[in-house]
C-alpha cells in the first residue's frame, strides 16, 4: 500500500519541474492527483506518464492567480472524488532579480498574484472542504498543505525584491494557517528549496535583466556540493503530506544542500 493510498491531492504548477515530480510521486504512492497548470500540452504529458505507470491523475488547465480557477479545481476534487486531503502550493513566478528601485508595477503584481494570491485562494477554497473530513479518532489529521516557497522566504539576499517579498509573504501565510487551524485538524508546512534543476531556475540564471542582482542573490551557492533535483523536493513533499508527518505543523524545511548555512 502506498503512503498516500486513498488520498485526493491537488498540486499546482504541475506541468514541469518540482510540480511534475510531486504529481508523479504522489500518484505512485496511491493518491488521486488533480494537477493544475497553465501549459495544457506539457501538463497532459505529465498526466500521460502517470497513467502509463498505473497511477491516477487528471489535468486541470488553470491559473492560480485567478480565484475562479482555484475554486473550480477544489470543486472538481470534491464532486468527482468526494473529498480533498492534500494541497501542494507549488506554482511560482520569478522577477528577473531586480532590486526594489527597478521593479515595475506589472512585475510586482504578477509575482504577487502567483506567489501569494494563488496560495491564499487555495487555502481559502480548500480549508472548508478539508474540515469536513473525519480525520483520526481525535478529529485531527483532516488535511495537509505543503507550500513550496524558497530559501528567499527567510533571506533578504536570495532573489529580487518582488520575489523575495512574495516568498516572505507566503511563508507567513502558510505558518499562520498552521497556527489558526491546528486545533481543527489541519497541517500546513513549508519547503524552502535552494537551487533546483528546473526550467524556472535555468530561466532565472540565463534570462534576467539585472546581472549584478543575480550575482548578489547567488552569493555562496558556489560553495554548495551540487544543485538539487525535483525528485528530491517531491520526496520531502511526500513526507510532509503523509500521515507520517502528523506531528509536524508550521515547519519551514530548507532543501538547499547547505546553501542556507553559508
| Residues that are catalytic | 163
Three-state DSSP state, 166: helix
Distance in angstroms (rounded) separating the CA atoms of residues 140 and 247:
10
d(CA 240, CA 246): 8
Query: What span, in angstroms and rounded, lies between the C-alpha atoms of 27 and 50?
Result: 7
Dist. CA 187–CA 203, nearest whole Å: 32
Packing angle, helices 118-130 and 161-181, rounded to 10:
10
Contact 227, 12 (CB under 8 A): no
Q: Give the max Cα distance, the chain.
A: 55
166 within 8 A of 153, measured Cβ to Cβ:
no
> 3-state SS of the chain: helix, strand, coil percent to 5?
50, 15, 35
Measured at the CA of 55, the angle between CA 53 and CA 56, to 5 degrees, comes to 140
CA angle 250, 89, 197 (to 5 degrees): 105
Dist CA 56 CA 2 (whole Å): 13
Contact criterion met (CB below 8 Å) for 169 and 178: no
Amino acid at each position: 500500500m502506498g503512503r498516500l493510498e486513498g488520498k485526493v491531492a491537488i498540486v499546482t504548477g504541475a506541468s514541469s519541474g518540482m510540480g511534475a515530480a510531486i504529481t508523479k510521486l504522489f500518484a505512485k504512492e496511491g493518491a488521486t492527483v488533480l494537477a493544475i497548470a497553465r501549459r495544457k500540452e506539457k501538463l497532459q504529458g505529465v498526466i500521460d506518464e502517470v497513467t502509463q505507470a498505473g497511477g491516477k491523475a487528471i489535468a486541470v488547465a488553470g491559473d492560480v492567480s485567478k480565484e475562479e480557477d482555484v475554486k473550480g479545481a477544489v470543486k472538481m476534487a470534491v464532486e468527482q472524488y468526494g473529498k480533498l486531503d492534500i494541497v501542494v502550493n507549488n506554482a511560482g513566478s520569478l522577477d528577473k532579480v531586480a532590486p526594489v528601485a527597478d521593479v515595475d508595477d506589472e512585475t510586482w503584481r504578477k509575482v504577487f498574484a502567483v506567489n501569494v494570491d494563488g496560495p491564499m485562494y487555495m487555502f481559502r477554497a480548500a480549508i472548508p472542504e478539508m474540515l469536513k473530513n473525519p480525520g483520526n479518532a481525535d478529529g485531527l489529521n483532516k488535511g495537509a498543505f505543503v507550500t513550496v516557497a524558497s530559501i528567499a522566504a527567510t533571506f533578504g539576499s536570495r532573489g529580487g525584491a518582488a520575489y523575495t517579498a512574495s516568498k516572505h509573504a507566503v511563508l507567513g501565510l502558510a505558518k499562520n494557517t498552521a497556527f489558526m487551524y491546528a486545533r481543527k485538524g489541519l497541517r500546513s508546512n513549508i519547503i524552502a528549496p535552494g537551487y533546483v534543476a528546473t526550467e524556472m531556475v535555468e530561466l532565472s540564471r540565463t534570462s534576467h535583466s539585472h546581472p549584478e542582482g543575480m550575482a548578489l542573490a547567488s552569493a555562496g551557492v558556489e560553495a554548495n556540493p551540487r544543485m538539487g533535483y525535483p525528485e528530491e523536493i517531491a520526496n520531502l513533499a511526500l513526507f510532509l503530506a503523509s500521515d507520517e508527518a502528523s506531528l509536524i505543523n508550521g515547519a519551514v524545511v530548507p532543501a538547499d544542500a547547505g546553501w542556507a548555512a553559508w
